[in-house]
Structure 1
């Protein structure tokens, strides 16, 4: 399965109007929304939660410069209904990757994040990046 790689420069402008409301919303870019709707349900949840993570980190002064997020970098999230959770996410800030755990709640259509909570852990050693599929 091919994974869409969504970056901060692509995601944040698309979602900017919804930041004030506190929700990560994919609607607003019809092409992106159509692309996401073609994904299988678990990949859709992963991609939309990646968007929610980018928005959450953008609001946090400590993590504002995050430019990549993968909620499933180290392990597959647990998806149940409209919720995804896991402890195997990775975020890139500057030249370093950090592990994070998260809980992501989505709207019924899975196109909007209604709640995203996270806890950032330790830096991931560069020696492990290739095994995980991370890059500089």
Structure 2
């Protein structure tokens, strides 16, 4: 139940800039295993950057790092070449590289590329939803 609640709390963070993680959110992230913490933190960063960098074109409310392929971790870095994000009810392909600090909370570097919209007829195959 804590993990479910943690993930729900993380979804609410999408509107917050990366530097705005408050103590409550840090506690929620700390409750996760290190690899889950890093992935969730990088997903939050992806939503923040996409929203900020694309000046209102996208309003991401969900990122899934493993839709088309599993993320690859290397120390404090994670590469998610098969990620997706949801914006205004549509899903888009996403690739990102993210490096966090030792605790997985501070994002040290982040780079991403938005891909094509995922056709609705493929959503069921990849477990995507409205």
Structure 1 stretches of at least 4 aligned residues deviating more than 3 Å after TM superposition? none
**Higher RCO (C-alpha under 8 Å, 6+ residues apart):** 1
Give the number of aligned pairs. Answer: 125
Stretches of structure 1 lacking an aligned partner (at least 5 in a row): 17-23
Corresponding position: 1:46 with 2:49 = no
Normalising by structure 1, report the TM-score: 0.79
Normalising by structure 2, report the TM-score: 0.82
Alpha-carbon deviation of 1:132? 1.8
* Contact persistence 2:14–2:60 (CA under 8 A): no
Alpha-carbon deviation of 1:105? 1.0
Aligned twin of 1:19: none
Corresponding position: 1:134 with 2:99 = no
> Once the two structures are superposed, what CA deviation does each residue of 1:88-129 show, in whole Å capped at 9, x if it has no partner?
110112121011111001112111112211111111121221
Between the aligned partners of 2:19 and 2:124, the Cα distance in structure 1 is 32
Between the aligned partners of 1:102 and 1:110, the Cα distance in structure 2 is 16
Stretches of structure 2 lacking an aligned partner (at least 5 in a row): none
Corresponding position: 1:56 with 2:49 = yes
